[in-house]
Structure 1
Amino acid sequence: MTKAPFRLGALVMSLAVLQGCTSQPSGRYQQAHDSAPTRMPTMAELQNATPIQEPLSRQGNQDYQINGIFYDVMDSAKGYSQTGTASWYGNKFHGHLTSNGEYYDMYSMTAAHTRLPLPTYVRVTNLDNQKKVIVRVNDRGPFHPDRLIDLSFAAAYKLDMIGNGTAPVKVEAIEFLSPAIEHRYYVQLFASEDADKIAQLREQLPESWQSHATTETNASLHKLLLGPLPQVEANKWLQQVRAEGFPNAFRVKITANEAEATDSNNQN
């Protein structure tokens, strides 16, 4: 099979008007016009796509031109929200390659969009009935001036728009929260300009503390520390050391630069 860079074809409309659709013929497809499948989606196939963070596809994310119209692919889907008209596509394209190199499955929760990065997860709301679906955008299209998104058959079925063929929708990109950063901390026991005093004090610490003990020098000030430690563990150590001879001990959050330096030192 020769893979074309983008899916070309008629934007699918309802069964009542399919015969009137104007398709763009291609040797890739056995059907001149699109059609609905012979069975409806199962309950399992009607489950929303599960959004996960994925790298951009190696193909399908370059700017391109179709029918004399230039499409610039968005660098990011962050903040994307738009209303427009949705259509759907089915049998004609089933089993053929999508723009990002995957195989189109009309029973999966996927969609085509002209500009969103591939893949992008979006929430599509049918504004006529407020039904919603989450789909994974992995294809290009629909190449029609009054269409916003082309949904898989299963997604369109879930939105109850098969009969009409199109529906007014709101499309919203699903954004992922930045990974939670687990900060690490030092418990500072003592500080002095006398480096020998800090070294001597470190040697006098209980044996069970020694594996966490470290020293740090900032300008002329020398510090005796325990850590680095996760937040919960740092809190426990802080309570312990205050009760066992260091009542003025306090916790110090490690900055990003300090954490990188600590990791580098540990690796070396």
Structure 2
Amino acid sequence: MADSAKPRKIRKKKLGSYPFASVIFSISMALFVLGLFALLLLHANRLQAIIQENLEVQVFLDRDLSEANRIKISKTLASKRYTAAKDNKAQIRYISKEEAAEGFLDNPDEEIALLGDNPLRDSYVMKLKPEYYQADSLEMIKSEIQQTSGIFEVTYVKSLVESVNENLAKIGLILLGFAILLLIVVLVLINNTIKLALFSQRFLIRSMQLVGATSRFIRKPFLTRAFLHGVLAGVVASALLYALMQWAYTRIEDLHLLADWRNSVIVFAALIIAGGFVGWYSTWRAMNKYLRLSLDELY
């Protein structure tokens, strides 16, 4: 009786091929977590800059100062190296004593009438560049400005500045520690994922060695595919992060004010490059291990 069963097809394994879907997924998730932390750092830095930009120095003027002298002081303050600028315009605001009274007193006209005279002074409120919001820099600025003719006093909220700088320093150290720890975990995870994926190819690698294939010939297809898989994982991670950012900006009010698209694009590009490099390097290390294994160690 003739056997009517169709002959079973033997699927040939292609050198360098392995279940790449799980590898790409694992690398994508690892890069996603790393990229998410990088974006959190960017937003934290942007928040720090906004906080520092809103810290102000008040410059009180002498009484009965002429308009010409007031304008001269304004130009002097605007020309200082530490004065912040926006759209090529110095961040200096003039507040007359009448305006100050409106914000300081409940009933300005009545209370000033009782006092006989407005006790407040004309002043300038100026914003500084972020790098000058340090205790020693602020004291230097205060001393320098007070030497200007026509200026009565320079003040800033010293306790607030010290509190902000101290808290930002603590947060920076904590985030840096987490970043280093997370980077190590991600690298170990990707390395182990690729090593396990290549484990199924160890006998094929041995077979290629037995027929005389050189180590370079055996490595090449594995390294090429690992690099492409890493790049693809980086693209997937970047796309997920972009989608998450867009969702967060629509759900959390004013979060878009912390957006830093230029550096965000750099993060996405870094993830793609890092994915390709880490995939290639981890595969290279794993290949070296399997190429050196003896027959007994393969089992």
Structure whose CA Rg is larger: 2
TM-score class normalised by the smaller sequence: under 0.3
More strand by share: 1
TM-score, normalized by length of structure 1?
Answer: 0.22
